Amino acid sequence: MPFRKASAGRSSLDELLTPQMAQLDYEAAILVLEQTFDEVQRHLQGNRSVQFAPELQPQLDALFSSNTQAYREVLIGCLLAKLQDAHVDVHLPYVGHGPTAYNARDLDEQVVNPFLQSKQIPSSKGPFLNVFRRGIKFTKSTREGLRDKKGYDSFLVLVDHVSGTTDDNQLRSILRALLAKFIQLREESHIAVARVHRVSLVQLRSLITNLLAIPSGGRFPVFLVVATFRALNDAFDLGWTVDYQGINVADAASGEAGDITVRQSGNILIVAEVTERIVSKSRVISTFTTKIAPLGIQDYLFFVREADPDAYQQAHQYFSQGHEVNFLEIQRWIYDILAVSGARGRTSFIHHLIEMLDQRDVPRIMKVGWNDLILKLTGS
């Protein structure tokens, strides 16, 4: 989506004194950042790489190896400014540098820093220009006054490249590569999972809906179903153990018959499979012949968004053979179970969900998504 024609954002005294300076549309900048970030996340979740100019990859890697966070944050601002106004000179981040300069401080305060903070990406707490002396230009002459000269050298190569690029597609390609590195940085960092102790049934309905909408590679649906089984067990002291296996782990390799196994005194009570895809008749047949019949499972559940009518018919045929195969709509089942589990069950549900989310190997996008929803839920 192309930027809209640049318009004035928040006017500072410097801008009023220098009206000929490039004016940027901060709302448009935020929109481009959000859209590009979502696009990159989808690529990375699909195990697809984000393409970038090979000759510049060493400089980009060095930028993220540097202890000076500001260098990589400034580069976001440079790209947004250049995308919005091709005449901007990204070497000139201060008001007073002339008509081709831009206000990098306002761009950071209104767009870049809030964006990085909202995505829980490790970033500067204050304006990124604080590491530079006031009025500097991103040129070789600035190098002498900096501690991290090696990091600045890599930064300057990339700024020069952005400055000389006039094609929007190439600029967006750089932005995608840069954001991919920020996502990788977040994945390598620790993100504390927000705690909440009491959530009402009405709030849980909204929370479950929004959690299922977060891209998670199938993890959130499994976590929600496991937490619900465990909450049911805790609420009524059923003596169950509820185990689940990792996403994309083959059942044969794990020794389990499905995604979730509920046992009592070591005996299998329920085996459940959680899927976001439509369950077909052929899948029911395959599950029966490879898992249900050989293991003598009497109660097998498919937690689904949708099932093919033929799948229901096929499952009905197995009932006469002593095996029940049933289909449950995830969101409705969770809500109904939590409704009858009382406050004790709902508190347990939240506890188990947080416990699973807090594991080291859980993707950061899930933790960030959870934290955002809890923040909106509690208003804190």
Which pLDDT score, from 0 to 100, does residue 78 have? 96
Percent with pLDDT over 90 in the chain: 69
Q: What is the mean pLDDT of residues 56-85?
A: 95
Q: Is the pLDDT of residue 65 over 70?
A: yes
Question: Token digits for 94?
Answer: 């201060």
| Residue in 83, 77, 171 with CA at minimum distance from that of residue 127 | 77
353 has a pLDDT exceeding 50: yes
Mean pLDDT, rounded, for 293-314: 91
Return the minimum-mean-pLDDT range out of 25-39, 46-60, 100-114, 348-362.
46-60
In this structure, which long-range contacts are made by residues 16-21, counting pairs with CB atoms below 8 Å and at least 24 apart in sequence?
A: 17/95, 18/95, 18/96, 20/98, 20/99, 21/95, 21/97, 21/98, 21/99, 21/101, 21/102, 21/103
Dihedral angle of Cα 126, 130, 135, 141, to the nearest 10 degrees: -140
pLDDT, tens digit, 9 for 90 and up, residues 130-181: 888 888 899 999 998 899 999 999 999 999 999 999 999 999 999 999 999 9
Interval 326-346 mean pLDDT? 95
User: What does the mean pLDDT of the chain come to?
Assistant: 89
Domain ranges of the chain: 13-187, 201-378
pLDDT at 39: 93
DSSP class of residue 173 equals H
Ranges 3-17, 66-80, 130-144, 331-345: which has the least confidence: 3-17
pLDDT in tens, 191-222: 899 999 889 999 999 999 999 999 888 999 99
Q: Which of 193, 208, 216 is nearest to 349 (CA)?
A: 208
Report whether 141 contacts 156 (CB < 8 A). no
Of 143, 168, 167, nearest in space to 155 by CA: 143
Of 202, 209, 207, the C-alpha closest to 305 is: 209
* pLDDT tier at 247, thresholds 50, 70, 90: low
pLDDT of residue 44: 87
Task: Please report which confidence band the pLDDT of residue 10 belongs to, taking 50, 70 and 90 as the band edges.
Answer: very low
On whether the CB atoms of residues 261 and 295 are closer than 8 A, the answer is no
Q: Angle at CA 328, nearest 5°, toward 323 and 330?
A: 145
Q: What's the confidence (pLDDT) of residue 6?
A: 40
pLDDT at 145: 84
Tell me how far apart the alpha carbons of residues 5 and 170 are, in angstroms, rounded to a whole number: 19
Q: What is the pLDDT of residue 351?
A: 96
Sign for the pseudo-dihedral over CA of 201, 205, 206, 210: positive
Strand partners, 302: 273, 327
Identity of the residue numbered 172: R
Give dist(CA 194, CA 273) in Å, integer: 28
The whole-number average pLDDT for the span 332-339 is: 96
163 contacts 91 by C-beta, under 8 angstroms: yes
Which pLDDT score, from 0 to 100, does residue 15 have?
A: 44
What is the predicted pLDDT for the residue at 248?
54
